[in-house]
Amino acid sequence: MVPSLLFEITLIGILGIGSQWVAWRYRLPAIVVMAITGLLVGPIFGIMNPEEDFGDLFSPIISVAVAIILFEGSLNLSFKELRGISKPIFRISTLGAFIAWIAGSLTAHYVAGLSWAVAFVIGGLFIVTGPTVIMPLLRQAKLNPRPAKVLKWEGIIVDPIGALLAVFAFEIITVITSENPSGIQLVLFFAASIFAIILGWALGKGLGWMFETGHVPEFLKSPVIVVVVIFCFTAADMIMHETGLLSVTAMGITLANMGISSISDMRHFKENVSVLLISAIFIMLTASLEVETLLQIFSPNIIGYVLLMMFAVRPLSIFLSTIGTGLSFNEKALLGWIAPRGIVALTVSSYFAGVLLNAGYEDAEILTTLTFALVFITVLAHGFSIGWLARKLGLSSEGNPGALIIGSNKFTVQLAQSLKNSNIPVMLVDSSWENLSLARKQNVPFYRGDMLSEQTEHMLDTIPYDYLLAVTDDNAYNSLICTTFLPEYGRTNVFKGSPYTHFQDGYSSGVVSKVGGRILFDKKFSLENLIEKIEDGYVFRQTMLTEKYGLKQYLDDKGSSTVFLYLIKPSGVLKFFSEEMRTVPAVGDKIVSLTPPTKEKEKIKAKLDTVRNNDRKE
């Protein structure tokens, strides 16, 4: 066991974030890595048991964390995203959820062997998927926009609905089995749910107004959000258990659709907090399981229940609820398979297991085992299959890492054409039709719009592009683009054209050189220099390094005016050259450079001489 509670908290943080890093480094489902890590330090090796060690604090900590995670997810639910997909989302969240509840309850009764009362409670709960498991899978799989948005909205909207269905089923059971049945309890339940929605909406509106009118300073906005989310969840939850989830969801959606100028900053902060919370909570929950719970998973009735939920209940609910919604068969097939359960299912089922046992339902003792089996198996199965299935169904943008180039000019059009010829996804973005005219002539993919505009955010699919290159003639705008998208793309994947101007002994650029993004290629090559080279006849040349023609010989052959642009690894990995580039080109790499025309003339002359010499010999 761990020596102290402080050490255990530290260990949970290290293991959680460490699992996230391992998942990122080796392209594995993060939830799977975290679940395995929690099992190893918990029931397998017995290093810690957070539920015992934290005592009465364990349940409130989990509940508050789930509330913050759910709020963060709902903060991304802008109604503008519903263009073209509102019908399938509404149908899946209502009719689909109802079908899944009834079918899941029947399966729990006839296959898992649960009583009708317990079956309907757990059937309502298991309709949830949840942002804690869906979001990491969507980032991993690079799904096309439509199925990705459907899964995201379903995960966040159905999360509180599932918890409420479980509460609703329990309230009905309580009324039916009581000595003096009364409908007052059901009326109170619906009233509490309506109150939770109104409370979330009111707090969201109030916060939005305070932020926009300057009543809350910038440095306090994120802390205020966290405190108000906790208050919103607690206030609703005290009136009726689990309505707190509904309340924070309503609050998040309200803020997301108010058009608040600082909403993106809040999203980044909340996303960072959510990653930390998801990591810690999954470690805590899996580490708190007992060995007996794990062994029960392998019983035939539990395995049979999980398989039917995955291969029958979920597909049935999706295909029936999406009839006439415009979704293709492939999209329905993907949605019908992907439904991993997560933190909400684990936490709420633990609560109901205790409540139902206290009410005299002895079969409720297997709820924790049943829930963990469903969570772990679905996360494992869907986590490893979503990318493969999406590619098979033609619903994935995954492939060679692409580049999103901001700014259309003579150089960027030629760069985009070079990337396109190497089978690398590329997209030019510019707000000017005049600037894009050359891209249209060269048949280079383009999008007309301002990269910072809200319309571009909703209309442009950025999933295929791993790199962002800001290469406009406005250095300040380039830096602003890079600063805005650093959190989304990562510091190593965001570049800007050199803002430096050559003068006498050195270079000058002003403040923009120190803001956002890495300098693309070399600081001595500004966009103006690069365009001049294109006009002077410089050409894009691709060279593969071999055992006989290595990096040293390649560099010796190139002059000081050559611009090294990017390299492509044999694995397909794309790397852009910059002064901060750590990757050293190796044998098998293809290097693309902007080469002086004299080099090309020399190569042509050498080839002609070779042909002439061969002719003379003959």
Closest to 403 in 3D by CA, of 419, 423, 421? 419
pLDDT of 167-195, one tens digit each? 777 777 766 766 666 667 778 878 888 89
Residue type, 319: F
How far from 459 is each of 89, 451, 453, 471, CA to CA, in Å? 19, 11, 10, 21
Task: Indicate whether 496 pLDDT > 70.
Answer: yes
Q: How far is CA 573 from the centre of its chain?
A: 21
Residue 29 lies in a domain: no
Which of 162, 58, 50 is CA-nearest to residue 105? Answer: 162
DSSP secondary structure letters along 402-429? EEEEE--SHHHHHHHHHHHHTT--EEEE
Check whether residue 594 and residue 522 sit in a common domain: yes
Q: Residue 505: pLDDT above 50?
A: no
Residue 217 lies in a domain: yes
In the block, tokens 């120190």 appear at: 514
DSSP for 226-291 reads HHHHHHHHHHHHHHSTTHHHHHHHHHHHHHHTTT-TTHHHHHHHHHHHHHHHHHHHHHHHHHT--H
The model carries a pTM of 0.66
Claim to verify: residue 365 and residue 417 sit in the same structural domain: no
What's the confidence (pLDDT) of residue 265?
60
Euclidean distance between CA atoms 42 and 23, whole angstroms: 20
Lowest mean pLDDT among 83-87, 268-272, 498-502, 508-512: 508-512
Report whether 302 contacts 365 (CB < 8 A): no
Which residue, 367, 368, 309, 369, is CA-closest to 339? Answer: 309
| Interstrand relation of 402-406 and 465-470 (parallel, antiparallel or unpaired) | parallel
- The answer on 97 and 131 residing in a single domain is yes
Nearest to 343 by CA among 255, 432, 252, 279: 279
DSSP string, 563-615: EEEEEE-TT--EEE-BTT--PPP-TT-EEEEEE-HHHHHHHHHHHHHHHHHHH
Residue 507 clears pLDDT 50, i.e. is over it: no
Which DSSP letter does residue 460 get? S
Copy the structure tokens of residue 475.
Answer: 């250095």
pLDDT band at 423 (very low <50, low <70, confident <90, very high): confident
- Residues 530-576 have pLDDT tens digits of 888 888 888 888 888 888 777 777 777 777 778 888 888 887 778 88
Same domain (yes/no): 96, 191:
yes
Domain annotation covers residue 385 = yes
- 50 lies in some domain: no
Tell me whether residue 7 is in a domain. no
Bridge partners, 231 (sequence order): none
Same-domain status, 230 and 94: yes
By mean pLDDT, which of 162-166, 205-209, 570-574 is the weakest? 162-166
Interstrand relation of 465-470 and 494-496 (parallel, antiparallel or unpaired): parallel
Domain final position from 329, 363, 392: 392
CA proximity to 506, closest of 520, 524, 518, 519: 524
Residue 23 in any domain: the answer is no
Share the mean pLDDT of the chain. Answer: 79
How many C-beta atoms surround the C-beta of residue 361 within 10 A? Answer: 20
Q: What is the pLDDT of residue 482?
A: 83
CATH number of residue 433's parent domain: 3.40.50.720
Q: Are residues 355 and 411 in the same domain?
A: no
- Quote the CA–CA distance of 382 and 387 in Å, as a whole number: 9
543 forms bridges with which residues in the sheet?
A: 591
Q: How far apart are CA 589 and CA 581, in angstroms?
A: 15
How far apart, in whole angstroms, are the C-alpha atoms of residue 486 and residue 496?
Answer: 12
612: confidence class by pLDDT, cuts 50, 70, 90: low
Domain boundary among 392, 422, 457: 392
Domain with 604 in it:
402-611
At 447 the three-state DSSP class reads strand
Q: Is the pLDDT of residue 202 over 90?
A: yes
Q: Which 8-state DSSP code applies to residue 466? A: E
Among 392, 413, 436, give the residue marking a domain's end. 392
307 pLDDT band, cuts 50/70/90, is very high
Residues 253 and 232 in one domain: yes
Total domains, the chain: 2
CA 234/CA 203 separation, integer angstroms: 13
What is the distance between the terminal CA atoms of the chain, rounded to a whole angstrom? 85
Name the strand (E) or helix (H) holding 494: strand 494-496
Q: Does residue 379 share a domain with residue 490?
A: no
Within a domain: 51: no
Helix (H), strand (E) counts: the chain: 26, 12
CA dist 379 to 33, 55, 66, 240, 602, Å? 10, 28, 18, 30, 59
Residue 381 and residue 408 in one domain: no
| Residue 618: band (very low, low, confident or very high) from pLDDT cuts 50, 70, 90 | low
> Count of CB atoms within 10 A of residue 571's CB?
7
Q: Are residues 385 and 435 in the same domain?
A: no
Tell me how far the alpha carbon of residue 603 is from its chain's centroid. Answer: 48
pLDDT mean over 493-506 = 68
CATH number of the domain residue 372 falls in:
1.20.1530.20
The reply to whether 368 and 453 lie within a common domain is: no
> Using CA atoms, how far apart are residues 269 and 78, in angstroms rounded to an integer?
18
Contacts of residue 568, Cβ cutoff 8 Å, sequence gap at least 6: 422, 424, 574, 575, 589, 590, 592
Torsion 345-351-357-361 (CA) sign: negative
- Which has more confidence, 565 or 293? 565
Rg (CA), the chain: 29
Judgement on whether residues 556 and 494 belong to the same structural domain of the protein: yes
* 131 in Cβ contact with 316 (< 8 Å): no
Helix (H) or strand (E) holding 506: strand 506-508
Within-domain flag for 2: no
Is residue 511 pLDDT above 70, yes or no?
Answer: no
What is the token pair recorded at 223? 């802390």
Q: What percent of the chain has pLDDT over 90?
A: 6
108 against 166, higher pLDDT = 108
In DSSP terms, which residues pair with 292 in a beta bridge? none
Residue 454 CB coordination number (10 Å): 11
CA 438, 442, 448: angle at the middle one, nearest 5? 55
Over residues 365-392, the pLDDT tens digits come to: 888 888 888 888 888 888 778 878 888 8
The whole-angstrom separation of Cα 472 and Cα 326 is: 39
